[in-house]
Amino acid sequence: MIRQTTILKEILLEGVGLHTGKKSVVVFKPAVHANYGIRFIRVDLPNKPEIEANYKNTSTGLAVRGTVIEKDGVRVHTIEHIMSACAALNIDNLIIEINNNEPPILDGSSKIFTETLLNAGVQELDAQKEFYTIKDPVYFESEKTKIFAYPSDHLEIECTIGFDHPFLQHQSLTLTDLNKDSYLSDFASAKTFCFDYEIEALQKNGLALGGSMENAIVIGLGGIHNKEPLRYSDEFVRHKILDLIGDLYLAGKPIKAKIVAQKPGHQNNINFVKEFVSKAIIEKNKISEGKVSIGVELSPTEKILSHEEVLKYIPHRYPFLMIDKVKIDTGNNTKAVGYKCVSGNENFFQGHFPGSPIMPGVLIIEAMAQTSCVMFLSRPQMQGKLAYFMSIDKAKFRVPVKPGDFLELRVEIIKDSGKRGKMKGEAYVDGKLATEAEFIFIIVDRDSSLRGDYDTSDSCSK
């Protein structure tokens, strides 16, 4: 059983708020009762009103340059960096006392919040952790923003940003698994950013009064105004993921899903969370050797190979990895099922076809072939092997596959000669057969493949 957590000891942080420009002190305290959640307490106000950090308490009309929670007219602004740190550290319950309406911006990232909470320590509570999961994709669109969620056994985020600006037009990045170490090394230090032409307008509206080159990256037409170099070459999309992690944590429970976000922002992130929770189910996580998965029923001999496990068996990598997970059966190794979340961020959609994106049929067959390779190469005797295409036959394309579709790739052995395999593959979308084909591949040693000295004379007969 995975248990709920809180921090071990009280700890304090102080600094200037990004938008108010006022000094702010936050005190993090352990919440010793399970299911308390994360709550902000305004100690500067009479009766010390508290607001739970939950999507139900968000003020989306104010969530343009930060995430705002509100209850009975009391607000706390710009909480996303604290929430992001709590999500990365798996902190479920926390008291946050604050003497102003906004936490300090510090260096513009969540690094100091994360390190401070780590220094406070994390302790388990005597209660089981719950998660939000989905069995079917969830879609949210608003103007240029698209945020989709697909079934997964953990949180993964694929994010793309783009601006009508000569210096910052397009960045894309994928977080394959949220954990303390990857968050600290790859995301926590990413600073907030804005364009120089926004600053005057923000300050006229009473925002960014505490902003400076020390806590924000300021972008101009010719580049970055800050003298300090970027912490990451793609720091802007990393900060967007940092913010999205924090906003997703407003669901009130950790989310297990693959999130694909195009041009996310706080207001749309929160509206997506509302849509997601309305369609999610609550799962009390039971450690079951990887059998908690993507909304499919598993027999005692079946298991889902995660994205990371798939990478151990086949050499394909972005942008040519065409499967996310594979279901194999250790009791019957003649069949397998691959799963592919078809994201609108796939690079092939840029040219196939603009205005009417369709996944190329040859790549659907490639996805079926990669599923077959995982099935073969996951066998213990296949260590150090590779699989190469030899032929494709009887290919038929019945239904177009579009962005947002969830591909189920069913493959079955027709003939297995040890060194070669003949497979039948079928790809389904929403239960409808989209593509089918038969194909033959050869199994070779990795070293032989590099030398090119493998034998192709013995093929599988039809």
**Is 266 among the residues known to form the active site?**
yes
**Rounded CA separation 422/237 (Å):** 43
Contact indicator for 157, 238 with CB cutoff of 8 Å = no
Element (H, E) at 145: strand 145-150
Query: Taking the CB of residue 184, how many other CB atoms lie within 10 A of it?
Result: 18
Which residues on neighbouring strands pair with residue 338, listed in sequence order? Answer: 326, 409
| Beta bridge partner(s), residue 335 | 412
Candidates 77, 81, 239, 266; catalytic one: 266
> Any catalytic annotation for residue 77?
no
For 82, 174, 259, 276, 390, the CA distances from 270, given in Å and listed in that order, are 16, 20, 13, 10, 49
Q: Side by side, which strands form the sheet with 302-305?
A: 302-305, 325-329, 335-341, 406-416, 420-429, 432-445, 385-397
What single-letter amino acid sits at 20?
T
Largest pairwise CA distance in the chain: 85
The DSSP-derived string for 100-113 is: SSS-B-TTSSSHHH
Strands 38-42 and 50-52, bridge-based pairing: antiparallel
User: CA torsion, points 205, 206, 212, 214, in degrees to nearest 10?
Assistant: -120
Active site residues: 266, 352
